[in-house]
Structure 1
């Protein structure tokens, strides 16, 4: 099971953590894992590129762990971009959860 924890402060996403493995298919063919990875890493890459910010990222050595924290001191414009992209990420992950709820759980 993949667990996604979204941490908010005053309705803004400040951090998210993804842990676990979906185990919805054989290694290398797990569609839920691939979808979650694509959504989360795509969002992080977009925030870094479009928001022009460095994000503190923690990853597990064998996979199955990702924590991303939004820095406190960024411009208002960068924060708006980051929040829009993060909210889009949450919507995409919730879409995966609707179809594959036995493999992913989102706590927001």
Structure 2
């Protein structure tokens, strides 16, 4: 079997190819161009989605800060140095930590 393949291998080594005949042509160019267009569109979509996630995180953080400030102001107004102020702050921090862990994607 190997002996039968040897003449074909030797003949293939002796042949010299013409680089003008070994080109991808128009079909190869079109295929490469389409792949490039798809990759660019995917990158644009990814950047848009990352930007949207960052904006949502900023808004969520800002709302959480405002909520904590409101709770702190309410606890300061109710009892100046009571033990409930510390408890409210620690409960608010625990709620903020649990919100960060719940990072589910939005439904459409």
- Superposition TM-score tier, normalisation by shorter sequence: 0.3 to 0.5
Instruction: Kindly name which structure, 1 or 2, has the bigger radius of gyration based on alpha carbons.
Output: 2
- Which protein has the bigger strand share? 1
TM-score when scaled to structure 1?
Answer: 0.37
Q: Which has the higher contact order (CA 8 A, sep 6+)?
A: 1
- Which protein has the bigger helix share? 2
TM-score when scaled to structure 2?
Answer: 0.37
